[in-house]
Structure 1
Amino acid sequence: MTPKTTTRVDRWLWAVRLTKTRSDAAAACRGGHVRVNDRPAKPATPITPGDTVRARIGDRTRLVEVVRVIEKRVGAPEAALCLIDNSPPPPSRDPLQAPIARRERGAGRPTKRERRVLDQFRAGWE
């Protein structure tokens, strides 16, 4: 059996575990979130080894190079061998960057003074 040299981009994105489902991969392609070799890709766009795929998955842009073409979903260690991930590192999750106003459980409703402080805090982040 000879290995395939080309496959659909939506099938490949699903097979190498960049998307959870194949329909999610197809929806990303139809929405314009996937580019193959810097060209917009439809779900049936063929990819071959050496192609560059840029996909906006969730809130992150993934930039991967196709090393091997697969059509069936495989385990994560084997899927990692099918691509070279050139994605920029994810943004840091610094707790000082975006503070979240939280109240202690059971503290009840905020007082008028606490509401004013919260409103001022929220206005500063808009």
Structure 2
Amino acid sequence: MTESSAPSIRLDKWLWHARFCKTRSLAQKWCASGQVSVNGTSIHKPATSVKPGDVISFLSGPYRRTVVVQAPGERRGPAPEAQTLYDEPEPPVKQTDDFMPHRPRGMGRPTKKDRRAMAAFKDDGMSG
């Protein structure tokens, strides 16, 4: 196959088909925020095409995941079908404690000051 005839799919749609995102709009937000990179390049457009062989890296909770696209996918099917769309060559890497705010168990509800600090942290993380 030539480069132009290789089957491809939009990045946001592939993330949704592979069940990394619960909704397609969430996948679009991930792409727009710059949290996803394809072949080492940070992506800011959900319409970016991906094809088999592309390496996608993204944050999923406290973990950095790197997957290789195996197939574009036809639909959002059951989990066993979604797992055939990608290969994960190495296990997810947990980010350092500096990256994610940590609150010890048993500390009760966050105070107003804690909530403001968490909100400020989330806003800074989304600005790309």
| 2:31 counterpart SS class | helix
The answer for unaligned runs of 5 or more in structure 2 is 1-5, 95-102, 109-128
TM-superposed deviation, 1:60: 2.0
Percent identical among aligned pairs is 38
Counterpart pick for 2:105 among 100, 104, 114: 100
1:10 aligns with 2:12: yes
Measured in 2, the distance between the counterparts of 1:6 and 1:47 equals: 5
Q: Deviations over 1:54-80 (max 9, x none)?
A: 111232221100001114201100111
Residues 67 and 82, structure 1, Cα contact 8 Å, conserved in 2? yes
Q: Deviations over 1:21-72 (max 9, x none)?
A: 1111110011110000011122000000000001112322211000011142
In our comparison, the structure showing a higher alpha carbon Rg is 1
> Structure 2: which amino acid aligns with 1:81?
T
Residues 67 and 87, structure 2, Cα contact 8 Å, conserved in 1? yes
The answer for unaligned runs of 5 or more in structure 1 is 92-97, 104-126
Measured in 2, the distance between the counterparts of 1:83 and 1:73 equals: 13
Moved over 6 A (4+): none
Measured in 1, the distance between the counterparts of 2:60 and 2:107 equals: 29
Measured in 1, the distance between the counterparts of 2:50 and 2:28 equals: 14
> Structure 1: which amino acid aligns with 2:68?
E
- How many residues in Structure 1 have an aligned counterpart in Structure 2? 94
TM-score, normalized by length of structure 1? 0.66
